[in-house]
Amino acid sequence: MISRRLLHIKTVPKLYATNIDSLNFSQSKSSPSVIPTIPTHELLTKLNLISHPHSGLINWLPIGLTIINKINAIIRSRMNEVNFEELQLSLLSHKSLWEQTNRLNNNQEIFQLKDEPFLLSPTAEEEITNYVKQNIKSYKNLPILYYQINNKYRNEKRPRSGLLRTKEFLMKDGYSFDINEKEAMNTYQNVFGAYINIFNDLKLPYVKAEADSGDIGGSLSHEWHYLHQSGEDLLFECDHCHSISNIEKTLSFPNEEKDVKDVSVRYFITKDGSTLVCAYYPSDRVLQPNFIKVEIDDIDVSSKLTQKEILSQFETNEQNEDSLMNKKIIRIMDSRLTSRSNFPDFPLSFINRSAITTFTDIPIVEAQADEICGKCEEGKLSSSKAIEIGHTFYLGDKYSKSLDCTIETPDLPDRQNLIMGCYGIGISRIVASIAEINRDSNGLIWPAIIAPWNVTIISVNGSTDPYNGLFEKLNDENVDYKVDNRAKIGLGKKINQSNLLGIPLIIILGKNYPIVEIEIRGKRYDPDGELAWKKLYESHKDEYQWKVEYDEGQNDVKHYVHKDGIISVINALLKDM
């Protein structure tokens, strides 16, 4: 096979020719000045990273696909480190499994095939559990740890043009099967560590939001987010205990006694029908029924009964006088309410007053910034919009139970349900988020590890022949570069287009050779406070005949280096990008 190094030079002109020449704004009629004002998803389309054949569908074009492949490589490396194995399940799943787990019912978001019993998998819990059930031979094979990277489908009724809310999206989904809860927790922690590594590799700051695990208990579910004003999620962070959680899960107390005047009430019934729960909360706030569950775990938050129907079950009349004797009422008052608030009238003429219990000072509405953290009850909450890019979830036996995925163990008489976890990363969402978060008035900016390529090389006079020695060195050291040797395109335009695409570095080869010019485009991430190139500069400044040009904010924008130092300097510059 041809060596990769030859490919570098050979194929580049072609790659550019179809991917940059055909950009809309490379035509004279539209200028780069539109860049700052267009939405990011349009920028990605204009730059030929993606196209939308129809609303909610995505074609990944060559440059976009390169970014995807680089993200996938990070994910694979990190998942393999924690002993997960990659597989590729069929994208079609048989409806019968989804009927067993009760996930198909009225689910309008699942694409089904016409006249066939298949659906397009939105996730693969059913299929993977069924596969493991059919193939596991012994508890000794546990844990079983699989992941896949492929398209998922969801019939999103309001697709947003872009990559955040689409009918088809690229996702890494992992699944774990353990013999018991303890081992499953251990697996969860391993994946947790892998996720930290993955998102650290991607350089951008991220947050882990804790989430209740509902019926399972413990705090073994996390959402992974990039904070950004364009996000659809709202997170709260406590300035004391530093816990971060999604608005759906953030308990909060009022930070000062405010006079809440108008009070609303919503009625719930427990699953056994024995108890009426009257939830009182400020009329100007949003009730979060799941918070009531923290106090009354039997409450039916998804009941389809109307308020009237719920109340009627507790209304005294001739038929139910006896049965009412066994019924109870719980009044639950949001923490923000005081005795001065205007409570609505109690709607029932309930006889047994002793059956009424009242809970006060319970946080049951969605948090707001500046309120007190419901977790530590000390710190103040701040809010941020966020884009969810991953989740890790301890599933317990939810799927293994309904699909009968069990195993014999040496210690216990009965077959045991396998204990599962599932772990998602939204790969197309990561591309969209990073594009959105990092873009500036000159276009996109990719972290080096996922940039379409790391270095654009431009020869001022158009010919690369005088620099063959340099290219040999770049090839030997596997520098990820492309040469822009398109004819009849000026230097300025080539630089602009490389910057627009978010390539971290540009090397310009000109009459000062062997001194080479390096222009900086990549964003700096230096958590330790010291850029790697500065250290190298101290020790090799003279040897490399290295000069640096700074902008007004004292940021380095251009480096001039002797070709013999080029590899070390490039690597040092890329290290923090």
Interaction with its own copies in 411-470: which residues (CB under 8 A)?
Answer: none
Q: How far apart are CA 372 and CA 250, in angstroms?
A: 10
Cβ proximity of 239 and 252 under 8 Å: no
- Least Å from the CB of residue 135 to its own copies: 6
DSSP SS3 for 360: strand
Regarding 315 and contact with its own copies (CB under 8 A), the answer is no
Q: Which is nearer to its own copies, 146 or 546 (CB)?
A: 146
Regarding 14 and contact with its own copies (CB under 8 A), the answer is yes
Per CB under 8 A, the list member of 105, 137, 317, 542 interacting with its own copies is: 137
Q: Which is nearer to its own copies, 25 or 394 (CB)?
A: 25
Regarding 248 and contact with its own copies (CB under 8 A), the answer is no
Regarding 17 and contact with its own copies (CB under 8 A), the answer is yes
Per CB under 8 A, the list member of 105, 140, 182, 538 interacting with its own copies is: 140
Q: Which is nearer to its own copies, 111 or 253 (CB)?
A: 111
Q: How far apart are CA 406 and CA 414, in angstroms?
A: 9
Q: Is 487 exposed, middle or buried, given 0-12, 13-18 or 19+ CB atoms closer than 10 A?
A: exposed
Q: Which is nearer to its own copies, 34 or 113 (CB)?
A: 113
Which residue is listed with tokens 């219990």? Answer: 357
Backbone angles phi, psi at 14, to 5 degrees: -65, -45
Q: Which is nearer to its own copies, 148 or 499 (CB)?
A: 148
Per CB under 8 A, the list member of 40, 130, 368, 456 interacting with its own copies is: 130
Q: Is 413 exposed, middle or buried, given 0-12, 13-18 or 19+ CB atoms closer than 10 A?
A: exposed
Regarding 410 and contact with its own copies (CB under 8 A), the answer is no
Both tokens of 291, joined, read 């918070």
DSSP SS3 for 169: strand
Cβ proximity of 462 and 163 under 8 Å: no
Interaction with its own copies in 37-66: which residues (CB under 8 A)?
Answer: 48, 51, 53-54, 57-62, 65
According to DSSP, residue 60 is labeled E
Using CB under 8 A as the binding criterion, the count of chain residues that bind its own copies stands at: 69
Per CB under 8 A, the list member of 39, 85, 358, 543 interacting with its own copies is: 85
Per CB under 8 A, the list member of 81, 361, 370, 377 interacting with its own copies is: 81
Q: Which is nearer to its own copies, 115 or 414 (CB)?
A: 115
CA dihedral angle for residue 458, residue 459, residue 460, residue 462, rounded to 10 degrees? -110
- Least Å from the CB of residue 410 to its own copies: 15
Q: How far apart are CA 136 and CA 412, in angstroms?
A: 18
Concatenated DSSP letters for 312-353? HTTS--TTTHHHHTT-EEEEEEETT--TTSBPPPP----S-G
Q: Which is nearer to its own copies, 151 or 290 (CB)?
A: 151
DSSP SS3 for 264: strand
Q: Which is nearer to its own copies, 194 or 365 (CB)?
A: 194
Pairing of strands 455-459, 505-509: parallel
Q: Write a three-state SS string for 173-189.
A: EEEEEECCHHHHHHHHH
Q: Which is nearer to its own copies, 41 or 249 (CB)?
A: 41
**118: how many CB neighbours lie within 10 A of its CB?**
14
Nearest CA-CA partner of 196 in 157, 229, 168, 222: 222
- Per-residue contact string for residues 153-182; x = within reach of its own copies by CB under 8 A: x-x-----------xx--------------
Regarding 127 and contact with its own copies (CB under 8 A), the answer is yes
Q: How far apart are CA 217 and CA 228, in angstroms?
A: 30
Which residue is listed with tokens 């004002």? Answer: 37
Regarding 34 and contact with its own copies (CB under 8 A), the answer is no
Q: How far apart are CA 10 and CA 19, in angstroms?
A: 16
Per CB under 8 A, the list member of 181, 201, 295, 397 interacting with its own copies is: 201
Regarding 83 and contact with its own copies (CB under 8 A), the answer is yes
- Least Å from the CB of residue 28 to its own copies: 12
Residue type, position 288, single letter: Q
DSSP SS3 for 481: strand
Interaction with its own copies in 87-116: which residues (CB under 8 A)?
Answer: 87-94, 111-116
With residue 390 as reference, give the H or E element that holds it.
Answer: strand 381-396
Per CB under 8 A, the list member of 144, 287, 292, 337 interacting with its own copies is: 144
Per CB under 8 A, the list member of 9, 47, 68, 474 interacting with its own copies is: 68
Q: Which is nearer to its own copies, 157 or 547 (CB)?
A: 157
Cβ proximity of 438 and 445 under 8 Å: yes
Cis peptide before 143 (omega within 30 of 0): yes
Both tokens of 112, joined, read 């089904």
Q: Which is nearer to its own copies, 26 or 442 (CB)?
A: 26
Regarding 18 and contact with its own copies (CB under 8 A), the answer is yes
- Least Å from the CB of residue 522 to its own copies: 19
Q: Which is nearer to its own copies, 37 or 138 (CB)?
A: 138
Q: Which is nearer to its own copies, 197 or 571 (CB)?
A: 197
Residues that bind its own copies (CB under 8 A): 1-2, 7, 10-11, 14-15, 17-19, 21-22, 27, 48, 51, 53-54, 57-62, 65, 68, 74, 77-78, 80-81, 83, 85-94, 111-116, 118, 120, 127, 130-131, 134-138, 140-141, 144-146, 151, 153, 155, 167-168, 197, 201
